[in-house]
Amino acid sequence: MKKRVQILFGIVIILIVLLFIFDNPFEDNFAPKEVLFFPHLQKADITQIDIAYFISGVRLARVSKDNWQVSSFKTALAEKVELDSGTIPGESLPPQKADQNKVNKLLDILLDLQKGTPVSTNPDKQGVMELKDIALNVTLYRSDGHQLAKLWVGKQTPGFLTNYVREEGNEIYEVGASIKGLLNLPTESWVEKPAPILQ
């Protein structure tokens, strides 16, 4: 009888261990919550996207529901360089029809972008992580010119395909999406390419 109780007790212990391994009941309490950077935004709210990086500026502007135009603009740094030296860095691109698929992909990525692991709130770390004001940043606007949101995208983290990202303020996150490559495109890359002529 005593041996049966010990065997039964051992089986119960093994089942409890298996329960914790395969279905941790405390996991929800300790798991980081998925939080979006822009939970309140919808695609329809956004009518202009400005992407600035050093002296390069790309402006995507909504003309109609699914019709976007792309043009270049002077960043604050480009204006300062022009003012200081009297020369205009780079050439400006007049508005042209944008590649709608690229714009929609960018909007989907930005609206689904989740705040990852908080890394730092120390403003001194922004330079090391390439998140200063002149760093790659994207600003979203609505039709009346009101700024909806702004993000700075820094260098790649030691992790695989992740970047440091910060909103306005000092909160720096490690984001599990490598969006710097998509944002750091020249203006011409956003222009819609003519369809190939088939003969």
CA distance 44 to 51: 19
Q: Please answer whether residues 92 and 187 qualify as being in contact, where contact means their C-beta atoms are separated by less than 8 angstroms.
A: no
Point out which residues pair with 186 in neighbouring strands: none
Element (H, E) at 120: strand 117-120
Per-residue pLDDT of the chain (199 residues; tens, 9 = 90+): 778 888 888 898 998 887 777 665 555 555 556 788 889 899 999 999 999 888 788 999 999 888 999 998 887 777 777 766 666 555 567 788 999 999 999 999 999 999 888 999 999 888 888 888 878 999 999 989 999 999 999 888 887 788 899 998 899 998 877 788 888 888 888 888 877 676 6
Interstrand relation of 48-53 and 56-64 (parallel, antiparallel or unpaired): antiparallel
pTM, 2 dp: 0.75
CB atoms within 10 A of CB 12: 10
First to last CA, the chain: 89
Position 187: which residue type?
Answer: T
Local structure of residue 92 (DSSP, 8 states): -
pLDDT tens by residue, 52-105: 888 788 999 999 888 999 998 887 777 777 766 666 555 567 788 999 999 999
Cα maximum dimension of the chain: 97
